[in-house]
Amino acid sequence: MLEISLRHRFPGFALDAAFTAPTPGVTVIFGPSGCGKSTVLAAVAGLLRPAEGRISVGGVTLFDGGAKKFVAPEKRRCGVVFQDSRLFPHLSVESNLRYGLKRAPKDAEGPGFDEVVSLLGIEALLGRRPAALSGGEKQRVALGRALLSRPALLLMDEPLAALDAARKAEVLPYLARLRHRLRIPLLYVTHALDEVDRLADTLVLMQAGRVLAAGPLEALAARTDLPMLAGRQDAGVVLSCRVAAQDEARGLTRLDFPGGSLVVPQAALALGHAVRLRIQARDVAIATSRPEGLSVQNLLPATLAAIEPGGAHDVLLRLAVGDSILLSRVTKDAVGRLGLTPGLPVWALIKAVAFFAEGRDGAG
Ligand SMILES: Nc1ncnc2c1ncn2[C@@H]1O[C@H](COP(=O)(O)OP(=O)(O)OP(=O)(O)O)[C@@H](O)[C@H]1O
């Protein structure tokens, strides 16, 4: 368990944040610029001594303001990866990685050099100096160096923020893969929702120095009372699925989630493989009777659970599909026209889904 409660002041900024998250697992702190995400991370790393509060990881107390306990940063066994890779420029990639290994406590268990190199796909880079690496490659090496120091907790502060979209798309699958393979707890700071969707097990939403909500990603993404998520044009739910069937003839893969199933273009995945699906509210339309002759492949029977405020001209519908929730963004006009009221049985038409295979190479 990660247990964090912090109070600290900077001129013009007050941090008063508390959350808990299960470990191992990926906890993502998400929020707008200046909300205090990096300050929380710095306090966990021991780079900032908070005025008050308590930090414990897996039952080990790193900071306790009341008991005047403050474990020095170098004793915390936190591996830190920043936005800029901070590699040693005069050392080869291999020497940078071995530096991490040298810092590992003698008795600490963790992945070996070869395993980390292969996990991050950096075999071909070992002889190069950091100046000869792309931004994405540098971040993979920085991550490798942090992993090889055998941390009890991995801290990442916007590790992809300095990368362009193509480089980011190159590194994200490695992070997703890591999340699946290694059992090191990860605390990850970002203001990019795609990273949240891909990586988070637990989501911590921060605003103006406070935690607005914290909990499992799937539960938070389905909430309509959190404007930071529901107010976005790309608001939507995340569902954990399993590969249930492969239809070679039609070129489709069937994914089951609690309460229903969806088909996606065929993915080369074994039956039972875990897949994370994201369905945006704007990609879900509804009908009050079963539509015929549709090109849309995913049509699910649902119950309209609630109608929540959306934008100026639209609303968010909460749709119960078995044990799962979908969100649908429709116009206020549609609510009146279709006579939508909570409890009504409806059909959800899902026009698009994004999906990512858990583990493997990460990408779906
Ligand atoms: N050492 C410091 N001294 C004074 N003020 C600070 C210090 N560090 C951070 N702050 C202020 O605290 C607030 C929170 O900063 P923090 O870096 O934690 O935000 P953030 O959510 O990580 O933002 P970003 O996404 O832009 O990195 C900001 O207003 C910042 O200016």
pLDDT, residue 277, reads 92
Domain boundary among 195, 221, 247: 221
pLDDT, residue 111, reads 84
Ligand 1: centre distance to CA 126 (Å): 35
Residue range 175-201, pLDDT digits in tens: 888 877 777 899 999 988 889 988 999
E strand spans, 48-173: 52-57, 60-64, 69-70, 78-81, 153-157
Q: Residue 171's pLDDT band (boundaries 50, 70, 90)? A: confident
* Pairing between β-strand 2-10 and β-strand 13-21 as defined by DSSP bridges: antiparallel
Output the CA–CA distances (angstroms, integers) from residue 226 to 193, 211, 213, 220, 238, in the order listed: 14, 12, 8, 8, 15
Are 60 and 198 in a shared domain?
yes
* End-to-end CA separation in angstroms for the chain: 30
Domain boundary among 189, 221, 253: 221
User: How many domains is the chain partitioned into structurally?
Assistant: 2
Report the CATH number at residue 136.
Answer: 3.40.50.300
Ligand 1: centre distance to CA 36 (Å): 6
Q: What is the pTM of this model?
A: 0.89
Contact 185, 24 (CB under 8 A): yes
In a domain, 154, yes or no: yes
- Output the residue whose Cα is nearest ligand 1's atom 8: 39
- Does ligand 1 lie within 6 Å of residue 36's CB atom? yes
| 40-62 per-residue burial string, b: 16 or more CB within 10 A, e: under 16 | bbbbbbbebebeebbbbbeeeeb
In a domain, 48, yes or no: yes
In a domain, 331, yes or no: yes
**pLDDT at residue 363 greater than cutoff 60:** no
Least confident of 4-8, 99-103, 207-211: 99-103
Least confident of 69-73, 168-172, 242-246, 350-354: 168-172
Are 197 and 273 in a shared domain?
no
**pLDDT at residue 364 greater than cutoff 60:** no
**pLDDT at residue 361 greater than cutoff 50:** no
Least confident of 43-52, 63-72, 101-110, 155-164: 101-110
Residue range 142-153, pLDDT digits in tens: 999 999 999 989
Are 215 and 290 in a shared domain?
no
Are 157 and 300 in a shared domain?
no
- Output the residue whose Cα is nearest ligand 1's atom 2: 10
Are 28 and 158 in a shared domain?
yes
pLDDT, residue 40, reads 97
Ligand 1: centre distance to CA 39 (Å): 6
- Residue found by looking up tokens 């637990």 in the block: 202
For residues 283-287, average pLDDT: 95
Domain boundary among 180, 195, 221: 221
- Does ligand 1 lie within 6 Å of residue 289's CB atom? no
d(CA 81, CA 62): 19
**Residue whose CB lies within 8 A of the most ligand 1 atoms, among 29, 39, 190, for a mutation test:** 39
- Does ligand 1 lie within 6 Å of residue 348's CB atom? no
pLDDT, residue 170, reads 83
- Does ligand 1 lie within 6 Å of residue 145's CB atom? no
Q: Residue 351's pLDDT band (boundaries 50, 70, 90)? A: very high
Domain extent for 31: 2-221
Are 204 and 65 in a shared domain?
yes
Are 68 and 122 in a shared domain?
yes
Those residues whose C-beta lies under 8 Å from the C-beta of residue 161, and which sit 6 or more positions away, are 83, 190, 191, 192
Looking at residue 201, the DSSP 8-state letter turns out to be S
Averaged confidence pLDDT in the chain: 91
pLDDT, residue 169, reads 86
Provide the residue type at 331 as one letter.
T
Report the CATH number at residue 282.
Answer: 2.40.50.100
Distance from the Cα of residue 269 to its chain's centroid: 22
The larger pLDDT score, comparing residue 286 to residue 194, is at 286
Q: What is the dihedral of CA 245, 261, 199, 314, to 10 degrees?
A: 150
Those residues whose C-beta lies under 8 Å from the C-beta of residue 354, and which sit 6 or more positions away, are 197, 277, 278, 279, 364
Are 201 and 105 in a shared domain?
yes
Are 157 and 263 in a shared domain?
no
Q: Answer left, alpha or beta for residue 168, where phi above 0 means left and psi between -120 and 50 means alpha.
A: alpha
Q: CB burial class (10 A; 0-12, 13-18, 19+) of residue 272?
A: exposed
In a domain, 230, yes or no: no
Are 141 and 252 in a shared domain?
no
- Does ligand 1 lie within 6 Å of residue 34's CB atom? yes
Name which of 308, 153, 311, 152 is nearest 231 in CA terms: 311
In a domain, 73, yes or no: yes
Residue range 241-258, pLDDT digits in tens: 999 999 999 999 999 999
In a domain, 362, yes or no: no
Are 174 and 97 in a shared domain?
yes
Positive/negative CA dihedral, 100, 105, 109, 114: positive
In a domain, 231, yes or no: no
pLDDT, residue 362, reads 39
pLDDT, residue 360, reads 54
In a domain, 63, yes or no: yes
Are 31 and 87 in a shared domain?
yes
